[in-house]
Amino acid sequence: MNFKKYQFHYLTVVSLYALYITIVFNYPIIFELDKFFDLSTGHSEIFENLFFTLVFLVLFGLLFIFILLFGARYILKPLILILLLCSSSIFYYRHTYGVAVDEGIILSLLDAVIEGNTQEINDLISIKLVLLIFILGIIPSLPLFFTTIIYPSVKKEILSRTGLIICTILVIIGLIAVDYKDISLTARQNKHLNKSAIPHYSISSLLNIIKHSFRTQPTFAELDENPTIKNPNEQIIGIVVVGETARADHFSINGYEKQTTPLLQKIDIVNYTNAYSCGTLTKISVPCMFYVGNYDQYDAKKAKYQANLIDIIDKAKADVTWIENNSSCKNVCDRIKNKTIAIITDQENTYDELMLKWVDTIIKKNNNSRTLIVLHTMGSHGPSYYKRYPAQFDQFKPSCKSNNPQECSKEELINAFDNTILYTDYFLHQLIERLQKLNKKSFLLYASDHGESLGEHGLYLHGVPRKIAPEEQIHIPWFLWFSEQYKKETFSLVDQATKITHEYFPHTILDALKIESKYLKKEKSLIQ
């Protein structure tokens, strides 16, 4: 079958698709700006209209420049197709979950692909997403397949592209210069809107990732070469549970009205109610939790190339086991030699209790003076909360059975999330029971990597940059448990109402295991 081919100049194609993407995927910015102007004073209707127009002209101009720069004659069609598909996907996640697809999100998705974490990827796919991509991405791309793009000579094309890029930049500068004072002030007051620009913000984030990847990687820093075990004849077993996506205000031990932690409430635990995460993404938070350097100067990229808590404990010749039921240890456990890494790979059943059999095995064969077991849980990972717990823990009903939060009522969504906490309560109780039966010095530390938004402020899931993240995404549950044998020693703990962060995490673990290191900061340990 022969289809008629239409002919269009390459500039016409670039302009039309840049205009389409700008208008279709960025119209919500108008509503956000309109709310701002409704609340503000001193802006005339003329200025408001000028600002609206300027925003779209700038967005159009930037996208126009990007396509001209990277859309060479044999690449133009694939580039436009990719932009359409990506813009459709970003639009869905931005306006369904309130999530900005930034560097952290992109790197997390890349990790999931590289690590073959199909479950996490599948949880993010829905019928609504597929339909949106089809309607807003695939259908508008179809004319490309029936179009012959006309290009001038290579010399003329280079000259025209260069000239248009320069002219577009000058026009943008000129438009801003018309009323620079008011425009710049309004722009500063609406800085958050840059994250709503589709696909501009994501392209900028991707370019930053690419730029950093070409930088010379630093030499790996070993840090402490000689950590030592205090009283090596003394046996201590510690279990550290890295929670996933749990938020403090949904734990009944913290005052939540629903009984989500009935088992933990029967145990003598030390509960820290004012704890905060150092990130809002697993990729950021987990390395940060095990970081032993200067917390104020934490840099995820640098942290990757220096020893962490796990390395130091392993260097001290303690038994270290990392049990994984999430995406990966995010490079934290890569270098330990004395280890057993158990990766849960059952895609049909990723309930955290699958890790218990590994714990039993490790405890049974344990004969070292110091043993650390780290459990990286699936916890309350969304958006498919209903997949994180067995049927018997579906106690709060009705509960959401969808991976799209907006398809469920607020009550259903919260109930599903609360069921994950109820299951976490059971899992942690199982671990504590095992330690109790040992009749040895032992402890358990639980802290979540970050929190979760459940519709507050129109946000779902997590991933908002830490500096502007809402309380729901950074206020985390955190508690300690010590065996009776451990509590026979004389020691004190930091007051439970003290505001703490993940900075306390590695130093508390070193202290609890009684491992001496020059990187141990006593003032940042919960054990005093």
Interaxial angle between packed helices 200-213 and 45-70, expressed in degrees from 0 to 180 and rounded to the nearest 10: 40
The gap from C-alpha 180 to its chain's centroid, in whole angstroms, comes to 36
Quick check: 56 and 23 in contact, CB under 8 A? yes
> Which residue did the predictor score with more confidence, 124 or 388?
388
Average pLDDT over residues 328-334: 86
Distance CA 6, CA 13 (A): 12
Structure confidence by residue, pLDDT tens digits, 212-235:
777 767 778 888 889 999 999 899
**Is the same domain home to 105 and 235?**
no
- What integer pLDDT is reported at residue 295 of this predicted model? 80
**Is the same domain home to 150 and 239?**
no
**Is the same domain home to 96 and 176?**
yes
> Which residue did the predictor score with more confidence, 220 or 251?
251
Structure confidence by residue, pLDDT tens digits, 476-506:
999 999 999 999 987 899 999 999 999 999 9
Structure confidence by residue, pLDDT tens digits, 94-130:
878 777 787 777 777 777 777 666 666 777 788 888 9
> Which contacts (CB < 8 Å, 24+ apart) does range 142-148 have?
143/6, 144/13, 144/77, 144/80, 144/81, 146/3, 146/4, 146/5, 146/6, 147/5, 147/6, 147/7, 147/8, 147/13, 148/5, 148/6, 148/7, 148/8
Quick check: 319 and 366 in contact, CB under 8 A? yes
Of 280-289, 334-343, 351-360, which range is least confident?
Answer: 334-343
Domain end among 149, 178, 213:
213
Q: Which domain holds residue 92?
A: 6-213
Is there a domain that residue 220 lies in? no
Task: Provide the β-strand partners of residue 236.
Answer: 370, 441
Distance CA 15, CA 161 (A): 12
Task: Output phi, psi for 386, to 5 deg.
Answer: -65, -15
**Is the same domain home to 191 and 320?**
no
Quick check: 526 and 500 in contact, CB under 8 A? yes
Confidence of residue 348 (pLDDT cuts 50, 70, 90): low
Is there a domain that residue 239 lies in? yes
Quick check: 482 and 443 in contact, CB under 8 A? yes
The percent of residues above 70 in pLDDT, for the chain, comes to: 91
Tell whether the model's pLDDT for residue 73 goes beyond 80.
Answer: yes
The angle formed by the CA atoms of residues 318, 321 and 324, to the nearest 5 degrees, is 160
Average pLDDT over residues 356-384: 90
- What integer pLDDT is reported at residue 475 of this predicted model? 97
Confidence of residue 183 (pLDDT cuts 50, 70, 90): low
Tell whether the model's pLDDT for residue 157 goes beyond 50.
Answer: yes
Quick check: 376 and 382 in contact, CB under 8 A? no
Interaxial angle between packed helices 45-70 and 154-177, expressed in degrees from 0 to 180 and rounded to the nearest 10: 160
> Which residue did the predictor score with more confidence, 303 or 278?
278
Is there a domain that residue 284 lies in? no
Is there a domain that residue 279 lies in? no
**Is the same domain home to 179 and 241?**
no
Structure confidence by residue, pLDDT tens digits, 15-60:
999 999 999 998 888 777 776 666 555 566 777 777 778 888 888 9
**Is the same domain home to 204 and 239?**
no
Domain end among 167, 184, 213:
213
Is there a domain that residue 278 lies in? no
Tell whether the model's pLDDT for residue 384 goes beyond 60.
Answer: yes
Q: Assign residue 381 the CATH number of its domain.
A: 3.40.720.10
Work out the mean pLDDT of the chain and round it to a whole number.
Answer: 87
Per the structure, how many domains does the chain have? 2
Residues 6+ apart with CB under 8 A from 131: none
Task: Report which of 369, 128, 109, 351 is spatially closest to residue 231, judged by C-alpha positions.
Answer: 369
**Is the same domain home to 161 and 116?**
yes
Confidence of residue 166 (pLDDT cuts 50, 70, 90): very high
The percent of residues above 90 in pLDDT, for the chain, comes to: 51
**Is the same domain home to 263 and 119?**
no
Confidence of residue 277 (pLDDT cuts 50, 70, 90): very high
Distance CA 105, CA 120 (A): 13
**Is the same domain home to 55 and 89?**
yes
**Is the same domain home to 314 and 440?**
yes
Average pLDDT over residues 297-314: 87
Is there a domain that residue 193 lies in? yes
Is there a domain that residue 242 lies in? yes
**Is the same domain home to 208 and 232?**
no
Is there a domain that residue 428 lies in? yes
Distance CA 68, CA 452 (A): 39
Distance CA 253, CA 272 (A): 10
- Residue 166: count other Cβ atoms within 10 Å of its Cβ: 11
Structure confidence by residue, pLDDT tens digits, 427-471:
999 999 999 999 899 999 999 999 999 989 888 888 888 888 899
Tell whether the model's pLDDT for residue 307 goes beyond 70.
Answer: yes
> Which residue did the predictor score with more confidence, 97 or 517?
517
- Residue 468: count other Cβ atoms within 10 Å of its Cβ: 11
Count Cα atoms within 13 angstroms, Cβ side, for 161: 20
Name the token pair of 498: 């003290």
- Alpha-carbon dihedral angle through residues 48, 49, 52, 54, given to the nearest 10 degrees: -110
- What integer pLDDT is reported at residue 1 of this predicted model? 43
Domain end among 178, 213, 248:
213
Structure confidence by residue, pLDDT tens digits, 392-432:
999 999 999 988 887 899 999 999 999 999 999 999 999 99
Average pLDDT over residues 65-85: 92
**Is the same domain home to 447 and 421?**
yes
10 Å CB burial of residue 144 (0-12, 13-18, 19+) is: middle
